[in-house]
Structures are given as C-alpha cells and as structure tokens.
Amino acid sequence: MHQSAVQHLQQLYQQLSQDIPILTQQLAELGQTARDVKRDLSSDGHLDLGTYTETLDTFASIEANNRQIDTLNARAQTAATRLAHAKLLLPQAYFAKVNLAYDSDEAEDFYLGKVGYLDAAGNDLVYDWRAPVADVYYANRIGATSYQANGRKIPVTVNQRQQFVIDHDRLIQAVDSQMAIGDPLLLAVLAANRSGGLQEITATIQTEQNAIIREQGHAVVLVDGVAGSGKTSVLLQRVAYQLYQHRHDWTPADMLIITPNVAFSRYIRGVLPALGEAEPLSTTYLNLIQALGRRFGLAISSLADNHLSVLADLIQAPHPAVPKGLTPQAYNQTKPTDSFIKRMQHAWRWLQATDQTPSDASQWLDWSALAKSWSLATLTPYDQLYLLVQITAYTQTTTAALFVDEAQDYDADVWLLLAAVFKKSQLTLVGDHRQRLMGSAPQLSAFFDQHQTINLKLTTSYRATGAITSYFSQFAGDWTTAIQAVQPQGITPNHVPAIDWASFQTATNLPAGQSLAIITPTDAEAIQLAKHFSNAHLLTATDRQTVQTGINLLSLSVAKGLEFDQVIVTGWESAFYQDSRFGQNRRYVAASRGTKALTLVESL
C-alpha cells in the first residue's frame, strides 16, 4: 500500500477532526452574535423621523443592520453545511480517486466522497460523487475522454482510477483498476449481510446504473431491470443526484417517492441522509389518492371497480346533453360536437371567471345521472376524482420530481391519474415487467407520449450468488438469457418436501448479523406460520418495521423489493406457484429475494 496514499488520508482525517470542533464553536459564536444584533435592534429600534436627514439616517441604519443579519445567516449556513459534511466524511473521507490531465496541464488527483468538502480557503479537498468530474470515474473509461459541466464539454485524460476501503484514518485497501469498480471490492460489498434498511451504493455504482442516475435529457425516465439489478438503489441515488443538480431550486420536499407499502418505505429510509440529504417525501399510491381526494371533498376508501380507462375514452367523445348540476350557460358556450372534456374545462373556466365555482366539488354534478348517460352502473369516488382532476385541469406544482418504484404493479388507472396530476413534474418509473404477480401491466410509455421519454434497462444482477441467480433466471421468461450474474457460484438452491416448523427455530443456527426470510404465498399463511415462532419478525404490508436480523415472516407480495441473506419459500409446489399465467413470475420473484442461500419447500 503506497505510503503517500496513507499519508494523504491521515492528513485529511486530521483536517476533518480539527474542523469539527472549530466549526461547532463558530456556529455557536455566530448564533450568539445574531442574538446580540437582534437584541440591539430591539432596544434601539425606534424610528427617528423628525427631519428628512434623520429619516434617511434611520432607514440607512435599519438597512445596514439587516445586511449584517443576512451576512451572519449566510456565514452560519456555510459553517453548518461544512460541519455536517465533515461529520459525514469522518468515517470514510472518500471512496475513490481519479488522476486527470487537462490539455498540457500537470495531472491532478480528484478524490470522490459521499459529499464534497472544502477547506476554509475554499479549496476542494473531496469532490461530491455527483459532481460533473466524477462522471469520468463511473463511466468506465481510461485515457482520453470528456465530461459535461455548465453546458460545456470538458476534454480530459484519465490516467488512473483507484478505489479505497477506509475506516476513519486507516486505509484498509486500495485497488488500482482499469474498470470503474474493482471487482474484489464490489464483491465484498455484495457479500455483506442483509438486515435493516437498504444501503446506499455510491462507491459501487456501475456504468449502466450511472447512466440512469445522471440522465438529464428526458422528462420521463422508464427503467426496466432484472431482479437484483439495484433498481431501488438507483432510484434513490437518482433522487440524490437530482437534488444536487437542482440544489439552488429544489429541496427534498419537492421530491415524492411512491412506494408499494409502508414496510418498503421503512426499508429505504436512511439512504438519502447517508448521502447528506434530508429524507424526501414518500407515500403509497392509495394514501396519495386519498389525500388528493380530500382536496375535492371526496372520501376514497378503495381503488377497486373503477372505470378510469373507460372514462379516459368517454371524455374525449361529444356529450350533447348538459350534465345535471352544471349551469347550461356554461356548457352551451361550446359546440355540441366538441369533446366532453373540452366543454367541461371551458365551463369550469367560465364559472371561475364569473365567481360561480361550486363550494363542494364532490357534490357539484349529479354523478348518478352522468354515469347513466355513459351506460355505467356507477361512478366511484375514485372515478369522480379522475373526472374532477381533468375538468379543473388540476396539476401538482409543488412536486418537481416524482419517483415510482415497483412500477410494473400499477394498472392503467394509476398512470392515467398520475400523468394528469404530475404533468409538469419530472418522472422516474422503475420496475421489472417479469415481477408482476397478477393482472396485465400496461405499456407505460403510452401514458406519457406528450413528454420526452427514454427507456433504459438493467440486465446485470448483483444481489445473489451465481447459483441463486442461475436458478431464478429460468423463471424469468424473456429476461432468462439477458440476466448476467457477477457473484461467485455459492450454494446450490435446496428443495425439501416439508419442514417441521415446531422445532425449526431451535434447530436453526443462523450466523450472527444475518437475516432469514420465510416467504409464504399469502399474508394469512404468514400470520398462521408465526404461531410456531417466539421471536420471529412478522412483516405485513402495513407494518412500520422492515428487514431484521434473525427470522422474518412475510408473504410474497410484501417481500417484493426486499432482500435477505437466506430465504425459505413455502408452498413451492402449491397452486399459487403452479398458476398457468403468473406462476413463473411468482417463482422468479420469490427465488430472487435471497443473496446467499435459498431453500424451496414443496408444502405450505
């Protein structure tokens, strides 16, 4: 290990260690100074307006004091940011280095970390992994190349790449690599135990993942990736990257992540704070729709039995009769041959202009009569919400970017509503078309044809051993030949006819720190199985806990998107997994949850 590399780390670690107490003290002093200034302003805050000159002097004094407070606030914000970054970098100051040469200039080392760090003079000691220059590290190129910065193409020569394993001031390992990631280090990360929440992948982002994270040319990014390809991690790294790119305009409150369930939301919590960002907003689709429904006075308890796909066509057709509840004058200002939605949107604008909008939009129209005019049995509250969103042209303007995970599980009604509500937001939709457990997944691009859309794929599976990857690949349909594994072969998946659950817990010798999942076909079977265990973790879609060390009991629908060290799948030969239409997909999902060991139990 090079002495110069060890020395550089120790110098930077010493710098961070010294800066933390200095910045802490500086923040305290700035806070006290600000309080003193405000106190002085309060005691001397009378306005002397006796003469014109005295008035000017008084306002000049107030302006000077305001500028002083603004300066103090700016200095405090800078110190607070440096302090937070120093604390974040102290355990691992950086994870990589690239040596770059610009034209004929002398080559320079650039150290990459989770966040950037400047010294007191403003010199870059560590570059943020999201900085433009870091792209040459992730892009898997050596020699002459370029990167984009401030709208310009910057030519550069990459002379060397190094990746590091660091523990505070100790340089444990350094790997010189022609690739973006050194294989030994990547495999060491992949071999780590899976418990607790999802971990950030900043140090191990691969080239195909990097392309998705940094994609900026399209408003809608559609990602289709195989099991274990890091889709969720990529989505979260993209959230962090977007926050960095738009750091002067966006905050985490401008980002929204739609997750499949509460347990999954808990699983991904903590990734963004580990990268120096606050947690973005996250919710399930049902919770989002219920909140949106309340804006229109609608109580939505279910999304079932809706007619959104039918309504999407019906509102584009003419509707000559005036809808009951609407002022005829508002409707009749448009042509009878115009579409229903064009006439209704015009009517809504007319009502707004004449200050006649309904006080309760949910009671505005006669929904039963409108349903009857379209030969529909009823219009559910969910249907009514869709119609009101379209009629009022409601658009969510507070969400700059929307992210949807497990996108393959959502039906057409979801995309119809999301496309309408978030038409001004950037969208990143991530999923795997082979992980749909029931029903048919619609073609997502069809819902966003008015946006610049790009389709990207992830075909390398990093999560599991080679043996497990090979096993679940056989159920992957058109993915089968595309899936590439990177881990060693490992233990061959094991088939057993049954397990004596009464004695299983005491007989199981799970290595310390590892997680074991017992995946059942349904929630009811997971709840029933839990009766045999005294200290297992039962996970359901509404639970607020996530993957734990030890034994986890959960159904396949909850297990989607999660990963564990060891997995036992029950009912492998049951009708659930033998289903002629969805059985292969279910086996693909179940068998791909484990990373080190997989057991298939024929019975329940």
Q: Note the pLDDT of residue 182.
A: 45
Starting at the edge strand found earlier in the chain, the sheet holding 220-225 runs 281-284, 255-259, 401-404, 426-431, 220-225, 453-458
CA 172 to CA 566: how far, in whole Å?
28
pLDDT at 525 over 50: yes
Q: Are 198 and 236 in contact (CB under 8 A)?
A: yes
pLDDT in tens, 345-395: 999 999 999 999 999 999 999 999 999 999 999 999 999 999 999 999 999
Q: Note the pLDDT of residue 264.
A: 84
**478, exposed or middle or buried, with CB in 10 Å at 0-12, 13-18, 19+?**
exposed
φ and ψ at 23, to 5 degrees? -70, -35
Q: Note the pLDDT of residue 129.
A: 95
Decide which of 428 and 56 is more confident.
428
Annotate 218-266 with DSSP letters as a single string. -SEEEEEE-TTS-HHHHHHHHHHHHHHHTTTT--GGGEEEEESSHHHHH
Q: Which residues of 190-215 are buried (b: 16+ CB within 10 A; e: fewer)?
A: beeebbeebebbbbbbbebbbbbbbb
pLDDT at 576 over 50: yes
End-to-end CA distance of the chain: 53
pLDDT in tens, 171-199: 988 888 765 444 556 656 655 655 566 77
Q: Which residues of 383-404 are buried (b: 16+ CB within 10 A; e: fewer)?
A: bbbbbbbbbbebebeebbbbbb
* Angle at alpha carbon of residue 484, lines to 482 and 569, rounded to 5°: 95
Give the residue numbers of the binding site.
225-232
Chain-centroid distance of CA 514 in Å reads 25
Token pair in block for residue 6: 């060890």
CA 376 to CA 599: how far, in whole Å?
49
CA 554 to CA 353: how far, in whole Å?
54
Q: Tell me the average pLDDT across 594-598.
A: 95
- Count Cα neighbours of 502 within 13 Å in the Cβ-side half-sphere: 0
Q: Are 515 and 566 in contact (CB under 8 A)?
A: yes
**What residues form DSSP beta bridges with 519?**
554, 569
Token pair in block for residue 442: 């619609």
**H or E stretch including 113?**
strand 108-113
φ and ψ at 379, to 5 degrees? -115, 110
Taking the CA atoms of residue 446, residue 448, residue 453 and residue 458 in that order, the dihedral angle to the nearest 10 degrees is -60
Annotate 545-597 with DSSP letters as a single string. ----SEEEEEEHHHHTT--EEEEEES-TTSHHHH-TTTHHHHHHHHHTSEEEE
Q: Are 511 and 551 in contact (CB under 8 A)?
A: no
Give the residue numbers of the binding site for ATP.
225-232
pLDDT in tens, 224-270: 999 999 999 999 999 999 999 999 999 999 999 999 888 888 888 88
Give which of 349, 270, 263 is closest to 526, Cα–Cα.
Answer: 263
Task: Specify whether the backbone of 232 is left (phi greater than 0), alpha (psi in -120 to 50) or beta.
Answer: alpha
Give which of 435, 383, 436, 391 is closest to 411, Cα–Cα.
Answer: 436
Q: Note the pLDDT of residue 294.
A: 97
pTM confidence score = 0.88
Q: Note the pLDDT of residue 544.
A: 72
